[in-house]
């Protein structure tokens, strides 16, 4: 059984067309995984494009899952996401033959994305893209202004940005 967490109906239809003989379940949120029986042969695909489903509640769900594999469709790696099950971060723009390998658990050519965020950096980028000011971000994340400045600096280094406002021009911005 493959569980697909997405709000993109076209993505779900495309995945189901690749493997007609495999049963699929469509979910709109990671929290819905707790309402289903998942066994060791189940696979979970989580699409974070325009969804922002990677929050603290979904982290708890992901750490407790014991499935064959968890595939997160994102062009970056989030280091705080830990799981007993194998965890893969994959771009949505992979070729069709790699999609089939992904769905049939043949990860021979898996490469970890070049960009990796800590969970706090992921949250900071998300808050910045939602146009929140520094005071709102520091109070929401319970961090100091200095921590926010250093995290923003690290984010700029990782993304090779000259200024933080350039983050909206990146192709990863819809994932937050």
The CATH number assigned to the domain with range 2-103 reads 3.40.50.2300
Residue 23's pLDDT is 85
pTM: 0.71
In the numeric block, which tokens belong to residue 36?
């289903």
pLDDT, one tens digit per residue, over 66-105 is 888 888 888 887 777 777 788 888 877 777 777 777 777 6
User: Taking all residues of the chain, what is their mean pLDDT, rounded to a whole number?
Assistant: 80
Half-sphere exposure of 91 (CA within 13 A, CB side): 12
The alpha carbon dihedral of 79, 41, 5, 21 has a sign of positive
Residue 34's pLDDT is 76
Where do the domains of the chain lie?
2-103, 119-175
In the chain, the percentage of residues whose pLDDT exceeds 70 is 89
The closest alpha carbon to 40, from 101, 88, 105, belongs to 105
- The mean per-residue pLDDT over the stretch 23-43 comes to 82
Higher pLDDT, 23 or 82: 23
Domain 119-175: which CATH class? mainly alpha
- The mean per-residue pLDDT over the stretch 1-6 comes to 86
Q: Is the pLDDT of residue 141 over 70?
A: yes
Q: Is the pLDDT of residue 114 over 70?
A: yes
Residue 176's pLDDT is 66
């Amino acid at each position: 059984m493959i569980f697909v967490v997405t709000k993109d109906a076209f993505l779900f239809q495309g995945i189901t067309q690749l493997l007609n003989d495999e049963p699929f379940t469509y979910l709109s949120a990671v929290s819905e995984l707790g309402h289903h029986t998942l066994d060791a042969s189940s696979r979970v695909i989580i699409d974070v494009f325009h969804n922002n489903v990677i929050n603290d509640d979904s982290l708890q769900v992901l750490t407790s899952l014991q499935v064959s594999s968890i595939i997160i469709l994102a062009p970056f790696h989030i280091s705080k996401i830990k799981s007993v099950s194998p965890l893969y971060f994959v771009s949505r723009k992979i070729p069709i033959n790699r999609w089939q390998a992904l769905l049939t658990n043949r990860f021979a050519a898996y490469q970890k994305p070049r960009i990796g965020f800590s969970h706090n950096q992921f949250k900071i980028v998300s808050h910045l893209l939602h146009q929140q000011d520094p005071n709102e971000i520091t109070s929401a994340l319970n961090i100091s202004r200095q921590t926010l400045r250093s995290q923003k600096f690290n984010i700029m280094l990782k993304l090779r940005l000259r200024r933080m406002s350039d983050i909206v021009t990146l192709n990863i911005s819809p994932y937050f």
